[in-house]
Structure 1
Amino acid sequence: MSYHDRRDSDPIKPSIHEMEASRSWQQVPQNEEDITSYNPYTSQTQDLGYSASASVETENSKDNEGQMPLRQAIKLYPKVAGYCLAMSIPIVGWGYDLVIVGAVVGTDSFLKDYGEMIHGKMDTPGNWLSLWLGLPPAGAAIGSLLGGWLQNKIGRKFTLMMGTLVSAVAIACMFFSHIPEPLDTKRMLLTAGLTIQGFTVGIIRGVCVTWVSENTPTALRGSAMALFPVFTLLGQLIGLLVTLAINGIEGNSGYLGAFGSQWILAVGPLILSILMPESPAHLIRTGQEERAIKSATRLYAPKINPFSQLERIRATIEEEKANTASATYWSCLRGTNLRRTLIVGLASIFPPLFGMELLSNANLFLRSMGMESTPSLVFMAAGVVAGMFGNAIGFWLLSRTGRRNMIIPSMGVAAILWGAMGITGFWSSEALTWVAGGIMMSVIIVCGLGAWPAGYAIVGETSSLQLRSLTQGLASIAEKGFSITLAIVLPMLFSRDKAALGAKTAFVFCGTSVIGAVLTWLFVPEMKGRSAIEIDQMFEMRLPARQFKGLKLQAHQVQESAPLAMQQQYA
């Protein structure tokens, strides 16, 4: 039974205060009347087609929000765009953490306090190093899983606040771990801090992805999700710069400064958790209608009628509730939701598939091939900058072209580049080592233009609103599991005391890139320009992936009027 066949759902009713406060929405410039006026007798699907053009929209116009240019969409939804940008602030901390831990444990000052003499040289024992590199992503996977459940219980806003506060405790464990005298106590305290920090990163990242994906309009959704890889790389770049700075500092001040700097990065998410509006979709789903009106007003008014936006969110959630009785992890693995969860899981592992694990450790990899330390660090920094450049263009491309058109070609080109690099591994020369570094930079640019940002867009739009936070948690398990596996296997392949494959390691990612392109062609549908309710309906129809793009859905003739917008119209 569809939402439009039911008559028993209670309408969302604005209070007298809210109706009085909303009178200003009717005072709009003449050239914006076509995008702000609302006809309560028009169907909700027709209401989806707000036009950002100044010309009057005709009844038969087929223009819809999904085809709106990015610049025009930002102008129409300035507050939403601003909050999406703000939600990227915690992602900087995530990128920073990815770099800083691996960099700090190799510094001389750190080894003096936490290392031991191995074969006449201060070094970190392999078992402790494995724990420090492996437990943070494992903690992040658990944090994502718990965070997905917690978001549905206490909301996105308070989950972000909780994750940030626990993060501050984790940073304290790392910062003060040098104080105890026993060496093993120092190491255990540091291990606990790193694990808890990974746990909080999983929670915080899950909140940001969920909030952005469920509150951005169709025209902004893909580009907004593409901000995450850009700001992840920005955090990594900051981490690299901090690493270069602390290398020249004697004593423990260097690594303590690196650990303590994470407190500074935690301030932004804490302030954001206090100031941000709660997600209207979460509030509607949990029956908090008055709070939903206030949040929607902060996000959409005055250019967009927040009441009509809430009606659209409500229609989608009620449709989903008719098909999914409760929001649980088990629900994500049943019926059509299983297909959607698998697609989100596939999109989340695009970075490991195109070689992000090797690219993130480019300095270690290139050093194993004989490159000096400084050039290898320069290559890594250049790769981060190149990735930011590629993702910045990918941010714009997502508003212009489809997800499949970005993923499949970029994965294909990445496979060719990795294959070429693997072939160079059959010879040994210093020049070919530099060629390998150049190819790795090319891969990150190509995938930054396509698979990386497009993967985030798919993660943000595929799951249902009701199960979004839970699906993100399951997808994170897949991503972290894949990443941990590669983190263990890759050093065995390229290390000089192990397989010593050198550039031939690239053949692994030549194969995984091909697999990613093929799986995308077979299973990932094109959802660009589709509203949440349209995506729900196409999955319910069990359409093959390659039929999504060409399907023309009939407009729903909504039988119920939109009570919020109707009362607003005559307030």
Structure 2
Amino acid sequence: MPNYEPYRGEPTKSADIAPDYVELETTRWNSVPQEDQESTAYDPAQLIERTSTRSTKNDMETQLPLGQAIKKYPKIAGYCLAMTIPIIGWGYDLLVVGAITGEDSFKADYGKLIDGEMTIPGNWLSLWMGLPPAGAAAGALLGGWLQNRIGRKFSLMIGSIISAMAIACIFFSHLPPEPDTKRVVITVGLTFQGFTVGIIKTTCLTWVSENAPTALRGPAMALFPTFTLIGQLIGAIVVYAVNQMGSKNGYLGAFGSQWILVLGPFTLSCLMPESPAHLIRTNQEERAIRSATRLFGPKMNPYSALEKIRETIEEEKATTASVSYWACFKGSNLRRTMIVILANVIPALFGLELLSNATVFLQSIGMASGPSLLIMIGGIIAGMVANGIGFWLLSRTGRRSMTIVSMGIASLLWGAMGISGFWSGPALAWLAAGLMISVIVVCGLGCWPAGYAIMGETSSLQLRSLTHGIGSVASQAASITLAVLLPMLFSKDKAALGAKTAFVFCGLCIIGVVLAWLWIPEMKGRSMIELDHMFEMRLPTRKFKSFKMETHEVQEASPLAERGA
């Protein structure tokens, strides 16, 4: 490990900076009093003394173009990319488990003879649709708590191990002779699979949002919807292949392939460094130094990075009495938690639940099954491309404007689709398909990746894992609600609204625009300690973008400075 010498208060000249580093920031790492040290040894003047050069330098760092930020932080960029690998498995599970229930060989083993054909009983189908999201909500809550107890690294490992066991339960559920026993076993497996998805997803979101530098945090979080779509694309291809096979081996192959995808998060949990923020918060400083060295060295000084984390955590400790779910709803954290909840339900508001079930919906308004599956695959590819562009846009455009504008356009597209539902004809289904793909593209360029960036920037470091857990519960609750309601709206034997179902999402998008305008501040380019200060000030939403704050203002807010004074 490189031998870094911490800054001890001597003036540093530009010529004295070691050539091994792109930069060497000043740090008071050894001068900050620890819990067992006297605060009199601490000089608050070192906190207040900041030059305009340092402030300008920080501004330049937060506004780095995406390419330069990746070059400056190559290891962190690589780890952030690796943390999206488990999300491929999540997207794959979302599509495969839902689509495989319509496959003939699966219905032959798990179905019941109704009106002369094998069909999955409606009560079991409802359980298979509702229990995995419910399990994911429970997993998110447990995952938020578990991360604060054993860390992000081991939470991901535990989630991966339980996931492998759940896949085994799903895979071998065909062995019992009685159909009801088969259904019970696969129901248990699907529920626990959803549970592990909640743990794994929350852990990955927390790790990336804690460790990505300000210039990379938004784009890094935007990778999550992109890799979700990659998983869904792989799942769509697998489902298409299964439909061609027409035997038990088809759906067993689809279930068994989930073991391959779970190897990714398990291997990652063995190799990844623990989050330095978690280690600092739990007073594991030696491990924090080793972890930061793996993430930042040799181009960056890890002591400087750890000092920024320490400053943020110490300031948050002054305003947060305890690290608990209840603390997320107290004081300024209530506002932050509500913003994270809104960011999590943005996909539900712009219609992702209907878009994910495009095959069933398009068939209900007259499209054949073959073209509807191809439309779904085309929509996934279009969404991947749009989210890829959105990943780049987040480094240049504000999250607030991306969210409001894209959801406004989506409301117009859904409105046009709803109006088309007053007519009938063979072209209606194709028009609906085109408008649905347009919604995917517009939201992929805006509110979908922006929502993930907002999730990663809003909560405090102290409560980040818990806040992500609450946000995931809100997301799953919205998904469950829409999963139950949507079939009742467009099915021919229920409300039979057809394309007029789009009016629901037209209204939800308008609600999303209003809530985003009222609640979501512009946080692009803001460091974690800046955001802590701005939320504590109860700064109005629309003043975040123009608010100016010098570095010394943040430092003077430190509780350590007050003690030392």
Query: How does the TM-score come out when normalised to structure 1?
Result: 0.90
**Is 1:207 matched with 2:207?**
no
**Is 1:306 matched with 2:297?**
no
**Is 1:353 matched with 2:341?**
no
Deviation at 1:544, TM superposition (A): 1.1
Residues 83 and 145 of structure 1, relative CA distance in 2, 3 Å threshold: same
Match of 1:131 among 102, 127, 133: 127
Partner AA of 1:36 in structure 2:
L
CA contact (8 A) 2:107 2:120 kept: yes
Per-residue CA deviations over 1:17-46 (Å, capped at 9, x if unaligned) read 8747999x96536xx65x335476997799
Residues 271 and 60 of structure 1, relative CA distance in 2, 3 Å threshold: closer
Per-residue CA deviations over 1:76-121 (Å, capped at 9, x if unaligned) read 0000000000000000000000000111111011011100111111
Per-residue CA deviations over 1:243-293 (Å, capped at 9, x if unaligned) read 011112243111110000000000011000000000000000000000000
CA contact (8 A) 2:138 2:198 kept: yes
**1:36 matched to which residue of 2?**
24
Deviation at 1:66, TM superposition (A): 1.6
**1:536 matched to which residue of 2?**
532
Give the distance between the partners of 1:358 and 1:491, measured in 2 at CA.
9
Residues 374 and 536 of structure 1, relative CA distance in 2, 3 Å threshold: same
Residues 433 and 64 of structure 1, relative CA distance in 2, 3 Å threshold: same
Match of 2:439 among 439, 443, 446: 443
Partner AA of 1:96 in structure 2:
Y
**Is 1:466 matched with 2:462?**
yes
Give the distance between the partners of 2:431 and 2:151, measured in 1 at CA.
49
Give the distance between the partners of 2:83 and 2:187, measured in 1 at CA.
28
**2:516 matched to which residue of 1?**
520
Correspondence list, 1:274-423, <5 A: 274-423=270-419
Match of 1:485 among 478, 481, 484: 481
Residues 245 and 319 of structure 1, relative CA distance in 2, 3 Å threshold: same
SS in 2 for 1:365: helix
Residues 89 and 365 of structure 1, relative CA distance in 2, 3 Å threshold: same
CA contact (8 A) 1:210 1:472 kept: yes
**1:567 matched to which residue of 2?**
none
**Is 1:87 matched with 2:83?**
yes
CA contact (8 A) 2:27 2:307 kept: no
Residues 369 and 280 of structure 1, relative CA distance in 2, 3 Å threshold: same
Give the distance between the partners of 1:20 and 1:469, measured in 2 at CA.
30
Give the distance between the partners of 1:229 and 1:74, measured in 2 at CA.
20
> Once structures 1 and 2 are overlaid, which stretch shifts more, 451-460 or 37-46?
37-46
Give the distance between the partners of 2:157 and 2:105, measured in 1 at CA.
34
- Percent identical pairs in the alignment equals 65
Give the distance between the partners of 1:290 and 1:122, measured in 2 at CA.
61
Give the distance between the partners of 2:507 and 2:122, measured in 1 at CA.
30
SS in 1 for 2:113: strand
Give the distance between the partners of 2:218 and 2:122, measured in 1 at CA.
42
Which runs of 5 or more structure 2 residues have no equivalent in the other structure? Answer: 8-15, 29-42, 559-565
Per-residue CA deviations over 1:509-566 (Å, capped at 9, x if unaligned) read 00000100110001111110000000001000011110111111132265899xxxxx
SS in 2 for 1:247: helix
Residues 26 and 273 of structure 1, relative CA distance in 2, 3 Å threshold: farther
CA contact (8 A) 1:140 1:480 kept: yes
Partner AA of 1:64 in structure 2:
M
Give the distance between the partners of 2:543 and 2:549, measured in 1 at CA.
12
Partner AA of 2:383 in structure 1:
G
CA contact (8 A) 1:46 1:555 kept: no
SS in 2 for 1:498: coil
Give the distance between the partners of 2:46 and 2:398, measured in 1 at CA.
27
Partner AA of 2:242 in structure 1:
I
Q: How many residues align?
A: 535
**1:163 matched to which residue of 2?**
159
Partner AA of 1:358 in structure 2:
L
**Is 1:188 matched with 2:179?**
no
Residues 48 and 462 of structure 1, relative CA distance in 2, 3 Å threshold: farther
Residues 176 and 77 of structure 1, relative CA distance in 2, 3 Å threshold: same
**1:252 matched to which residue of 2?**
248
Give the distance between the partners of 1:240 and 1:397, measured in 2 at CA.
28
**2:168 matched to which residue of 1?**
172
Deviation at 1:298, TM superposition (A): 0.2
Query: How does the TM-score come out when normalised to structure 2?
Result: 0.91
Give the distance between the partners of 2:118 and 2:395, measured in 1 at CA.
52
Aligned residues: CA RMSD: 2.3
